Amino acid sequence: MNFQLQHTDPKSKARAGLIITDHGQVETPIFMPVGTAGSVKAVHITELKNDIKAQIILGNTYHLYLRPGLEILRQAGGLHKFTSWDKPILTDSGGFQVFSLAENRKLTEEGALFQSHIDGSRHFFTPENVMDIQRIIGADIIMAFDECTPGTADYTYAKKSLELTERWLDRCITRFRETECPYGYSQTLFPIVQGCVYPDLRRRAAENVAAKEAEGNAIGGLAVGEPTEKMYEMIELVNEILPKDKPRYLMGVGTPANILEAIERGVDMFDCIIPTHNGRNGQIFTKNGIMNMRNERWKNDFSPLDENGTSFVDSLYSKAYLRHLFNTKEILGLQIASVHNLAFYLQLMREAREHIIAGDFSRWKNDTIENVMRRL
């Protein structure tokens, strides 16, 4: 993987760059639709490519390991061929999913013992086999195995957790260097900065990660229960330390406002379930604000779903029709909302990039956040 830093906004830390992988190029800043189990829910590949204009998608190591399983993925030739997606893919490490299974997992020095949410079967993730699993999945960018500390963790727990994550990182790097992609293209490993909300721990973690000289770096353990302003504070602190010539990936964040604030602080890559998850629950993001499509006010509104939208669904369907679909529990409603929201997020990234290059990102960002987070 190669990263070219092309522009930096003169009045902020916002950056525009280009990530080059064996499966194509990614212009940053970028949002990655979440394809948890090999599918971006309710959206098919042609919509992702041609309408939403996604450049890279995310797969989930924990879920793909359980289903369809490594043997199927190996036989298919990796996740790209299995899903018919020929652009870049990033996989997370499974650390967040194991963290979310707090009642059904046990952490040791060796790794994480957990029970499947599907059938209760027991499995063991180690830094080494998580590297092997992601090699078989075949993502272009893979993540180091870490413990995702809750945002409310006390200092003693956060410090102990970070120390474990750092030891695991060394083992991940060793295993990654000992192996290669079974499908003949290159893969790259991103370490993850943890440290909860404690500045000294985040600083230590960022310095340790920077010293590994990886081709890119991730920031994890945020948007997991801590106050939003504390999240922004940690992003600023970490990005002062992480190398400027490598892409920075903020994991699992977030709302349009969260993303724009993080871009201003120097983040390049994002993923989150919000556009699809909230879309399936009737929430539509637009430049003018947020619509709840179950509300009575849209019952007789036959205007286009989004006059400023870039997706075909925005002009093809009306607000009244989408409200009808949600109220009658028609699957089409979930599809329309998901496609619209993802197209909105990707268009927001393109506009952010344009304003970074134009040199007026901060002014545009402030106006945009005020508009897009308004409740309609």
pLDDT tens for the chain, 376 residues: list them.
Answer: 999 999 999 999 999 999 999 999 999 999 999 998 999 999 999 999 999 999 999 999 999 999 999 999 999 999 999 999 999 999 998 877 777 766 778 889 999 999 998 999 999 999 999 999 999 999 999 999 999 888 899 999 999 999 999 999 999 999 999 999 999 999 999 999 999 999 999 999 999 999 999 999 999 999 988 999 999 999 999 999 999 999 999 999 999 999 999 999 999 999 999 999 999 999 999 999 999 999 999 999 999 999 999 999 999 999 999 999 999 999 999 999 999 999 999 999 999 999 999 999 999 999 999 999 999 9
CA pair distance 307, 305, nearest whole angstrom:
7
β-bridge pairing 248-250 and 217-219: parallel
The residues, any chain, with a CB within 8 Å of residue 249's CB and separated by 6 or more, are 90, 190, 216, 217, 218, 219, 267, 268, 269, 270
The pLDDT value recorded for residue 102 is: 67
Residues with active-site annotation = 92, 271
The pLDDT value recorded for residue 93 is: 86
For CATH 3.20.20.105, list the domain ranges present in the chain: 31-272
User: What residue ranges in the chain does DSSP mark as E strands?
Assistant: 2-8, 15-21, 24-28, 30-32, 34-35, 57-60, 89-92, 105-107, 112-115, 122-125, 141-143, 188-190, 192-193, 217-219, 248-250, 269-271, 283-286, 289-292
The pLDDT value recorded for residue 95 is: 75
What pTM does this model have? 0.97
- Which tokens in the block code for residue 239? 């990005």
DSSP 8-class letter at 244: T
- Which tokens in the block code for residue 198? 């404690």
β-bridge partners, 152: none
**Which fold does the domain 31-272 belong to in CATH?**
TIM Barrel (3.20.20)
**Residue showing tokens 């952490």:** 107
* 365 closest CA partner among 346, 347, 349, 352: 352
